[in-house]
Each structure stands twice: as structure tokens, then as C-alpha cells.
Amino acid sequence: MHIVRSIVLALTLLTATTAFAVQPDEVLPDPALEARARSLSKELRCMVCQNQSIDDSDAPLARDLRLLVRERMKEGDSDSQIVDFLVARYGEFVLLKPRLAPHTILLWFGPPAVLVGGAFALLLMARRRSRRNTTATMPAGGELTPAEEARLAKLLKPE
Amino acid sequence: MIPELGHYALVLALGLALVQASVPLYGARTNDPVLMSVAGPTALAQFGFVAIAFGALVACYVTSDFSVVNVFENSHSAKPLIYKITGVWGNHEGSMMLWVLILSVFGALVALFGANLPARLKANVLAVQSWIASTFYLFILLTSNPFLRLSPAPLEGRDLNPILQDPGLAIHPPLLYLGYVGLSISFSFAIAALIEGRIDAAWARWVRPWTLLAWMFLTLGIAMGSYWAYYTLGWGGWWFWDPVENASLMPWIAGTALLHSAVVMEKREALKVWTILLAILAFSLSLIGTFLVRSGVLTSVHAFASDPMRGVFILMILILFIGGGLALFALRAPVLKQGGLFAPVSREGALVLNNLFLVSACAAVFYGTLYPLALEAVTGSKISVGAPFFNATFGPLFLPLLIAAPFGPLLAWKRGDLLGVAQRLLGAATLAVIVIAVTFAAEGGGPILVPFAFGLAAFVITGAVTDLIERTALLKVSPRIAFARARGLPRSTWGTALAHLGLGVTLLGIVGETQLGAERIAEIKPGQSISLRHYDLHFDGLANREGPNYRELVGTFTVSRNGEPIGVMQPSKRSFPSRGTATSEQALMTRGAGQLYLALGEPNPDGSVAVRLYHKPLVLLIWLGAVVMVIGGGLSLSDRRLRVGAPRPAKSQAAMQPAE
């Protein structure tokens, strides 16, 4: 219960989630707007860095983009308006989560396809196996022979 | 003289490897015991020569022999001895030397501990192992020779990238390579089984310890790398979904799936074909990991190599082993006989489900890592795939695994009773609900996901404990009997429970760090304070300090909690004149399972300095969980039934062996 207590304690003091390279002078006075800016910054790539969001990066470009995001938020733009603006300016490369489009269909549906395909293959295999077993060993009426009953009982007995 | 000796030893190792790659294989085909027995001694000799070559390279580094190009480019005479040694594998050529050294170690281990392997299997395994070794020796000798000379010899070296001058470099790459390369043994066993067209439960018993060993190293290596990134990179993140990290995560997931499916194969003779395929895939992903990092296909924080010749060579190795392995699989897998029927709801069924979700999660990482490269190569359009994508795809595919993890070990083999298991997990579920309710009440209207994440972590942890309580009947019999039963439990049962417990602990750490963390960014002058939660940090001042091969600017902060002083934190900025580069050293203070994390920015002309202070509750649990998983793996490895190379039946059945 110690963990639970410390969780509760920590939660009551919850202010913001972790984040990184934002400079003191960038932080917006309105905490709600700042939180929005932070979470949007995490979705945007610093284009001159290796796999870093503008929120993580120390690069000057990232700082410019962070300021830009905050500027537009102060002017009342919505998140999607800001994202559209950045994509129009820098291309899709700026998005860390690519939009669903013809050229990203494989990316987005690849992993679920593995899951669905795998599940389907498993189902198919189980059905084929059970059909094979039924046709091969079961008598016409679907009942087990005494010998099979005994074998089944043995099989089902826990080890 | 020493570099030439190393070079020559490597050439001899290649010669030996070529012999080992062909002669035992021919012996196994013609059933010639003499030819087959060549494999053992050559594997040992190969290890000897690679060790000489590696030792020669280490000697060049230790003596700062700058007539060797590799040493000149990556070392410095003023560097502390430990970084002279670890610098050996802090560059492309040296890290490939470490790769082949570990490969030869594993080959030698199979030769030493494989006395009770059937002669043909052993010959084939070592031959396949040597195919891998031969191609990598060739790769080093043709494209990445670390023993090349430079004339005239420069007076001083260029020094190692300062960010790598850290104890992390001593531990992280060797552990990771032990994992990557360890999976080559599973691969060799799988290929050998396909060559022979024969596979049985005994095969799984031989393969599982090797896979487990590789998995343990990989787990530790990834966790270590994550902690290294956390304390070095200065923004307190511990996982960045960087392609190089993903390259190590993919073999880990595939290896985890392999471990689980090998259990089914060993106990129930089912999933044979699938286990073989997973063994091939796991090592293929290790090779792809090596390729991603070493070919310069991505240039990221970790990657230091970029040379197209190398890239093409590694690509050929990939095609040879992955393509060849899969082709052999397609050709021979139909020959292998399937066995072991089971109902969908059973331990086997649960393990199949585990494999399905693990493979899908692995596919999410695979797609996210390689799709941008493939898209750019095919259409030329550039897209970014980063953390938000992985959180959106990997997360949902991993979630069912976490929910199902406590159920699996409680289900019976062949045919399980899901309702009965659910009843036994009632305690764990109740606790999870309490945790959800308490966090929900305390949070008061925050994101709804947070309480559920904590509840899930509690469920996974108590679920693992429930498994042990059930097996020892702790709540039903006297503690003395329960203790005796606990001692009588197979160690692999403890291993499973601990590994699942570790998973829950890591989850708790992740949830705690991401959801409960707090930060403060400020510009302060000496004499001022910065506070976060109940911690106050008083900035005492900045001072210059002289290191062995760097100068540093150290900030001193006195930390107090609710007014009580509890210690001092000293983050610093280091500059390395030999490379003209700088690093920051963050200060960490551990408080229970959480940490205070303080990073220093550049000082301003007016004497103020930007600092970033984080409070990261439960963050240490992320890595502690990994350590618990590895301890679980170690216990399982020490199980009598699984001991490396000793799958003999026990002399007498233990009296307290409970039903499984």
C-alpha cells in the first residue's frame, strides 16, 4: 500500500507531465495554453535533428517552431490549423505521426493486418485440424468408441 | 608488430571458419563421425584466434599506438584507461570485432557444453554458426579492417566522441551484442533442424537455454542503454523510439515470443514449425539491427558509420541469411511433423495468443522503423515516423498482452478452465479496482486513462504473485508447508512469475514517470532558489574544475525537502579541447523509486543560468522491472530441466512436485 499512498500523494501535487528543451522565456503565462503547446510540440518533428520532436530539441529551428506554435495559439488558431500551416510550409516531414493517406496506408494498416491475418490463419488451422480429426477417427454417429472414451479421459486428466 | 599479429590472427580465424563451415556439414551428410568431430576443435581454435585479434586491438588502444588508423581516429593519450579500453568498441571497426568475438565465444560454448548433443545436430549447428562467422570475418577484413596502419604516425589521437566517454559504453554494447549474437545460436539450431528435417522436444530443450541466455543479455542491454540515454542526453527521456533503439527492441520482442513458443514445443511437442520460424526471424531482426546501425542507412545519435561499400556488403549478408533461412524454411518445414493437440482455452492457447500479439507488436515497430526508408527509396517522398505513431500502434497491440499475462501461467495445459482462473485472479482484480478508484479520486478529473494504467500495473504485479500463492497454497496450508512447497516448485515456475512481475514493475515505472512527473524550467542567479513539489534547490554558485581530458563548469545546488537539507546536486558542462566539443552531465538524486533530475544550461553574461529540474516519481522502477525479469530468466536457466546442455532426467522425482 506504500506505493498507492505515494501515488496519491504525487497525484495531488500533479502539475504537468514531463517535457524537455523548452527555454524559460518561451513559457506562456496561461498554463492551459502552455500545456496545449507542449502536447502539440511533441507531435512535430525538428527537421534538422535526428528523430527529435521540437519539444525535445535544443536546435534553433526547434525553438523558432515552438515560438511559432505558441504565437499562433495566442492568436486563437486551433491545433489542426497550426498543423495544416506547418505542413503547407515544411511538408509532411514535419509530422511525427504521418497522416493516413494512400502512401501511408501500408504503414498504418500493416501491423493490424499482421494481427488479423495471424488470427485468421490460426482459426483456419484449428478448423482444418478439428475437421481432419472428426472425419478420420469419429464414428458416423459422432459418438466415441469405448477405447476413445478411455483415451480422452486419460488426456483430460490433469498432469 | 602487434597490429599485424592481430590482423594475421583474424585471417587465420577466417580460414578455420571456412573449414568449420564445410567439413562437418559434409560429415553429417555422409555420416562420417571423424569429419563431424572437426567442428568442436575448430570452434575452440576460432575463439582462440579471434581473442588474439581482439586482444591485439585492445593492446593498440591501451598503448595509444597512433600508427594504427583506428586508434588515431578514436583515442587520445590523456584519456582514462577505462575509456581507452571501451573506446575499442566505440567505433564501427572495433564494434564489429566485438561482434565476432562474442560470436566465437558462443560457438566455443556450444562446442564445450554440447557434449550430449547428437553428433549430427552438433556438427550442423556449428557449421551454420561458422557460415555466419565467415561472412563477418570477410566483412571486417574487406571493408572494416581495424588494423590498418598510418604513416607517418601522428603524435596525438583525435579522441573518442565525448558523449561516449561514459561507463555506459563499457556495459551497454557488450550486453546488447551478447543478446544479438546469442540469438545466432537459436538460428543455427533452427537451420540445423531444417537441414536434418527432424525436430523434437529434445531440440527445444537444447535451444531454450541459449535463447533464454541471449534474451537476458538483450533485456539488460536495452535497459542499460535506456538508463544511459536517460542520464546522458539531458532531457530526461528514457525511450525515444529512435530507429537504433527499435533495432534492439525488435529482436527482443521476437526473442520473447520464441521463449514462449519453445515452452509449448518442449512440453507438448506443438508449434514446432512456428518455433523454427521464430528462431529464424529473431536472428534476422538482430542482423537487421546490426545493418540499421552499421550501414549508415540512418544517421542518428548512435550511428557513427557511413560508407556505401559497407552498406552493400551488410545488405548481402542480410539477403544471404534471412533470404536463405526463409527459403530453406519454405522448402523443409512441410517435412516436419506437427504434434500435440490442445483446446483453444489452455496454456498452449494462451501462449499462442501471446505469440500472436507479440509478433503484431513487433510488426508495428518494424513498419514504423523501416517504412520511411522504404518509402523514400521507392517514391522519394520523406515522411517522419516518431513516438506518436508508436504510441498509437505499439501500445494497443501490447495492451492485451499485459491483461492476459496473469492468466497464462494459471491455465492448465491441453484444456484450461478460464472461469476458474478468473476466480483465482479475483484478488488481483479487486486490488486493481481499488487502485483505479483511489487514483481516480485523488486525481479528481484528470485524464481517465491514468487510473486505468495504474490499475493494470497493479493487476500484472499481483497476478504474478497470485500464481506463486496458488502454487504454494500459501493461504490454504500452514506457512511451513507452503514454504516447503515453495522450495519444491520448479525454478522455471519462479522464473515465469518473476519475469511477469518484472513486466508489471516496469509498467508501473512507465506510468509513474509519464503521468506523475513534474518539471520546472527557470533562469536563476547564484543565491536564488528553484522549487518543485516539496523540493527547494538553492543555487550556491558556479565553479571551474579540471578533469583528465576536459574542463568543466560545475553548478552547486543545495537540495532541501520541506525546509530540511537533504543533499547537494552538481550538474556540469564539460568541454573537451581535443575535439572541441562539449557535453552536459546531469545531476541525479534518488528519492525512493523516484529521482530528482537537474540539467544545467548555458550560463548567461549576467551570471544567471538556465536550469531544468524534473521530479520523476517511480522512474527507477522502469529499469528495476527489467532487472527483475532478468533474475527470473536466470532462475529459469538454473532449472535442472533446462540447464545449458544438461537435459537429463532427474534421478528421483521431488516429493513436493505440484501439479502444473
Distance of alpha carbon B263 from alpha carbon B243, whole angstroms: 31
Highest average pLDDT, of B185-194, B346-355, B399-408, comes from B185-194
pLDDT above 70: residue B284 = yes
Task: Report the alpha-carbon distance of residue B523 to residue B540 in Å, rounded.
Answer: 14
The pLDDT of B333-356, averaged and rounded, is: 80
- pLDDT tens profile B287-332: 988 877 776 666 543 443 455 677 778 888 889 999 999 999 888 8
| pLDDT at residue B54, rounded to an integer | 95
CA dihedral (B605, B608, B610, B611) positive or negative: positive
| Residue A143 pLDDT | 64
Residue range B513-531, pLDDT digits in tens: 888 888 888 888 888 888 8
Q: Is B387 on the interface with A (CB under 8 A)?
A: yes
What is d(CA B613, CA B523) in angstroms, rounded to the nearest whole number? 11
Higher pLDDT, B92 or B258: B258
User: Does B440 lie at the interface with A, CB-CB under 8 angstroms?
Assistant: no
B257 CA: distance to closest CA in chain A (Å) = 14
C-alpha closest to that of B126 among B55, B251, B27? B27
Q: Which residues in chain A are closer than 8 Å to B610, comparing Cβ atoms? A: 23-24
Which chain B residues have a beta carbon less than 8 Å from that of A25? 523
ipTM: 0.81
Out of A103, A111, A158, name the one closest to residue B393 (CB): A111
% pLDDT > 90, chain B: 30
Query: For B202-229, how does the pLDDT look when each residue is reduced to its tens digit (9 = 90+)?
Result: 788 888 888 999 999 999 999 998 998 8
pLDDT at residue B546, as a whole number: 87
Query: What's the pLDDT score for residue B299?
Result: 53
pLDDT score, position B383: 85
Q: Looking at the predicted structure, is the pLDDT value of residue B414 above 60?
A: yes
CA atoms within 13 A on the CB side of B424: 23
Q: Which of B299, B397, B614 sits opposite A18 (nearest CB)?
A: B614
- Where chain A has pLDDT below 50, the residues are 1-20, 136-139
Q: Which residue of B has its CA nearest to A107?
A: B367
Please indicate if any CB of chain A lies within 8 Å of the CB of B382: yes
Strands (E) located in B341-496: none
Per-residue cell: B552: 568543466
pLDDT at B624: 94
Query: Among candidates B507, B476, B505, B493, which has minimal Cα distance to B408?
Result: B493
Confirm or reject contact between B562 and chain A (CB < 8 A): no
Measured between alpha carbons, how far is B282 from B249 in angstroms, rounded to an integer?
11
Cis peptide before B396 (omega within 30 of 0): no
Residues from chain B that touch A12, judged by Cβ atoms under 8 A, are: 442
Could A14 and B519 be called an inter-chain contact, meaning their C-beta atoms sit closer than 8 Å? Answer: no
**Backbone angles phi and psi of B640, in degrees to 5:** -50, -40
The pLDDT, as a whole number, for residue B339 is 66
Residue of A17, A23, A158 lying closest to B515 (CB–CB): A17
Residue-averaged pLDDT of chain B? 85
Helices B2-30, B167-196: crossing angle, 10 deg rounding: 20
Residue of A nearest to B598 (CA): A20
The answer, yes or no, to whether residue B279 has pLDDT greater than 90, is: yes
CB contact under 8 A, A18 and B533: no
Question: For position B345, what pLDDT does the model report?
Answer: 80
Asked whether the predicted pLDDT for residue B642 surpasses 60, the reply is: no
Q: Is B316 within 8 Å of chain A by CB?
A: no
CB contact under 8 A, A112 and B412: no
pLDDT at B640: 65
State the pLDDT at residue B191.
93
